[in-house]
Amino acid sequence: MAGKSALKDHVIVCGYGIVGQRVVDILAEEDVPFIVIEVDKQKAENVRQRGYEAISGDATKEKILKDAGIKSAKAIAIVMDNDAKNLFSVLTAKDLNKEIFIATRANDDAVRQKLIEAGADYIVMPQKAASKEIADEILKS
């Protein structure tokens, strides 16, 4: 993968928890250039040990998003397990790059509307999605 300074038309992945790890796996499988922002230094180091670019820092901070190349990124996946941080990151990302595609997650229905108003293009609610999938399978059996 190219170094941070060479990133262009890349994806920024904010958060390397369960959802972020899966997003990274899929991007890597598809050869999509990406960089991970992770506040936990050990998790960021784990990303680097896998051979991927990572920044140790808070994705709600303008400087960190700039360091990740937000101005030349094509998309950002904001997948932290904290609705307030996700919302603030959406606001900051949209402020820094009006054209960026923003995909994020929400845990609470009330936050979903706020994320839309803040500029998120796609919002997933993992608990709802999992619940629906499980219920659909039970109903099929």
Q: What is the pLDDT of residue 58?
A: 97
137's CB contacts (< 8 A; 6+ apart) are: none
- Supply 12's token pair: 């920024």
Percent of the chain, pLDDT > 70? 96
58 CB burial (10 A radius; 0-12, 13-18, 19+) = middle
How sure is the predictor about 138, in pLDDT bands with cuts at 50, 70 and 90? confident
Q: Could you tell me which residue, 129 or 24, shows the higher pLDDT?
A: 24
Domains of the chain: 4-140 (3.40.50.720)
Q: What is the pLDDT of residue 141?
A: 82
Q: Model confidence over 39-90: pLDDT tens digits?
A: 999 999 999 999 999 999 999 999 999 999 999 999 999 999 999 999 999 9
Distance (Å, rounded) from C-alpha 89 to C-alpha 134? 30
Residue 29, strand partner residues: none
Alpha helices for the chain (secondary structure H): 18-29, 41-49, 62-67, 83-96, 109-118, 126-140
Report how far Cα 123 is from the mean position of its chain's Cα atoms.
11
